[in-house]
Every structure is written in C-alpha cells, then in structure tokens.
Amino acid sequence: MITHIVGNRPQFIKLAPLYHELAKAGCGQSIIHSGQHYDENMSDVFFEELGIPAPDVNLCAGGGSHAQMTARIMVSLEERLTAHKPELVVLYGDTNTTLAGAVVAAKLCIPIAHVEAGPRVHKRENPEECNRIVTDHLSDILFCPDAISLQNLEREGLGQAAYMTGDIMYDTYLTIADSVQESFSAEEVVVMTWHRQENTCSRARMESILNLVERLGERVICPMHPRTRKCLAEYGLLERAEGIPNFEITEPVGYTEMVRLMNRARLILTDSGGLSKESSFAGAKCLFMLEMDMWEDLVKDKWMHKFDPEREESVAEALQFARQAKRVPPADRPRHYGDGHAAAKMVEKLRERGLI
C-alpha cells in the first residue's frame, strides 16, 4: 500500500496526476488528509474536480501555530501509520503537513518519496524553507520540478536519491487547460493571489500591498485566501480593500476556474510558489511579492519580477514591469519545468528503485 499524505490546496493539485498514474500501474493506494485546509473551496473542490477519491481519513488537525499544528498532525499520523503500516509514503511540497509526514514516517522506518523536492529560497525566516530541508533530508527518493532544485540537492549531498522529473503541477495544468479554452480575445486581466506569512504578518505590509493594487489602476481579480481575509479584517483593512474600485475580491476558486483566470491573465501578481511557476504555463508574466530565491530560471528570463512592496523604489520598478506585461503565445513561453509527464517519470523511478 502507498499512502499519500496531503492537507493543503497545492498538495491536492500535485496529488492528482500521481494518484492516477499509480492507479494505472495497479498500485494499492490510500490518502491521509491532515485537515490543514478544511474549507470546501480550499479542499473538497479539488478532490471533486481532479477526480481524486475522498481521503481514507481526515485527521482534522488544521489551525493554530506552526508547532501546535505540526504536533497535532504528527500525533494522529503516528497512530494511523502504525496501525496501517504502508510500504511507501508520498509527501508533497513544503508545508507543515509535509514536515509532520516526514518526521513521523522516517521514525517508523517507512520509505518516503518527496514530490517537489529541492527548491531553496536560502532564507530561514521563510517557514516553508525549514519544512523543505528536513523533508528532503529524511526522504528516500526525491522528485525535482526543475534543474536548479536538482543542483541544490546535489550540493547538499542528496544527488543519489534525486531525479529531475519536471513539475507535477504542469501535468495537472495541462489536463485542465485541455478542457478550458484559451482565448486571446477575452478581456485581459491582472490575477492576484496573496497568502504568505511574510505578506500577511503586519498591517504595514498588507497596507503597502493594497497601495500597489490601487496604483495598478486596472481590474485586479483576487480569489482571496481565507488567511488573508482574516488578517485584513484583524488589521481593520478589509473595508479599505473592498473599497478599492479596481480590486475584485472573490472567494477562493476551484482549479478549473483558476486555469480559466490564468489563461486570460496579462499579469499574475502573487506570492504563491505554485502560481508564480504556473504563470509560465499560462503565458502571463509574473510579479512576485517577495524578494527571495524562487524559480530563478524565470527570473533570468525576465518572466518573473520580484519586488518588495514596502520599498518605494522597488514598487516603482514593479509598476513598470506590470505596465509592459503582455500575454505570451504558447510557442514563446519558457519551458523549465518538464514536459507535463512528471507523474509517469516518478512511477518509473519508484519502480527502478524497488519502492513499488
């Protein structure tokens, strides 16, 4: 039995292609949901849209501080994995769910496969960086989304276990994009997502991001993460945000709707690790609201521009980048993240290593 451990929106999106590929290969699988994301539009909608069976168990361990959440997930996970000891655990990305899964599975001597291994932002104050480093070092097989991630792992002495399979999110994107018309005639918009701890942890930071949206002065559609809405409300900024005439705040959307939005975006304004990379699949330039090492190939291509919303000079450059951004046709988009067959390559490598 292979057990997938997931709990967050991007993990459901990463799980879908691998689940389907392993099913094709005849592998028995189960899904443990940590409960880190729990709203219908942050969780269930992805299982339904992407054809993933409902989780075998939901640990309902979401909410609270990093330590509280990670500890709750670990305790429940240990019970579950001890009772149903799988032959392999699959972990995704870099969240607290990933970290909890890595520590528990490693101590129970269950082999671990890590999907989206190797990215490094080289900043310990980024909470996901801790999760990535620990998970990569405890895993038995590592699947990298790009060449830079593979180099990072080689530098850390993990090259023996690492493979460049390409980004599994590209598999998912292509599956959905196939069924969603890409229209160059639809009205072009700026699509925004915003949720990182670094961008929601202070009033000044949130206010500077709202100022930027206002200065953009064109329609910005923002399916808003519940964390961001809660933080805006706590800082007394929600009314200000809702009052910005060009700012269209919506509830979080399912993946099909997200692909529709990306595919008519002229620009993606985001702090999301996933969406910043997806911008290159969808042909929209990306303005990234954090200054840290991320998807450096896209930065070199001048596809992605990173900025600090709190520094006027940096904001001025960002606005200039935004004004010049145009939709890019498929043939001219960067291709750093594989060929859309990452899941098939993962299954092949798992087989070669005798893990399935």
List the interface residues with ligand UD1, window 66-95 (CB under 6 A).
94-95
Q: What's at 324, amino acid-wise?
A: Q
Enumerate long-range contacts of 287-291, CB under 8 Å, 24 or more apart: 287/318, 287/321, 287/322, 287/325, 289/194, 289/196, 289/199, 289/209, 290/196, 290/198, 290/199
Residue from 19, 92, 247, 255 touching ligand UDP (CB under 6 A): that is 255
Asked if residue 270 binds ligand UD1 (CB under 6 A), the reply is no
Q: What's at 66, amino acid-wise?
A: H
Contact 302, 38 (CB under 8 A): no
Whole-angstrom distance, CA of residue 148 vs CA of residue 116 = 12
- String of contacts with ligand UDP for each residue 152-171, x by CB under 6 A: -----------------x--
DSSP β-ladder status, 112-115 and 141-144: parallel
Helix-then-strand count for the chain, H and E? 16, 13
Stretch that binds ligand UDP, among 16-24, 271-279, 290-298, 332-340 (CB under 6 A): 271-279
In degrees, rounded to 5, the angle at the alpha carbon of residue 277 between the alpha carbons of residues 222 and 312 is 60
Measured from the CB atom, is 152 or 356 closer to ligand UD1? 152
Asked if residue 63 binds ligand UD1 (CB under 6 A), the reply is yes
Instruction: Tell me which of ligand UDP, ligand UD1, none is bound by residue 63, counting a contact when its beta carbon lies within the kind-specific cut-off of 5 to 8 angstroms.
Output: ligand UD1
Copy the structure tokens of residue 150: 């593979």
Copy the structure tokens of residue 123: 């900043």
Asked if residue 37 binds ligand UD1 (CB under 6 A), the reply is yes
| Residues with catalytic function | 195
Asked if residue 275 binds ligand UDP (CB under 6 A), the reply is yes
Asked if residue 193 binds ligand UDP (CB under 6 A), the reply is yes
Stretch that binds ligand UD1, among 108-116, 145-153, 223-231, 330-338 (CB under 6 A): 223-231
List residues binding ligand UD1 (CB under 6 A). 8-10, 36-39, 42, 63, 94-96, 127-128, 195, 226-227, 230
List residues binding ligand UDP (CB under 6 A). 9-10, 13, 169, 193, 195, 223, 252-253, 255, 258, 272-275, 278
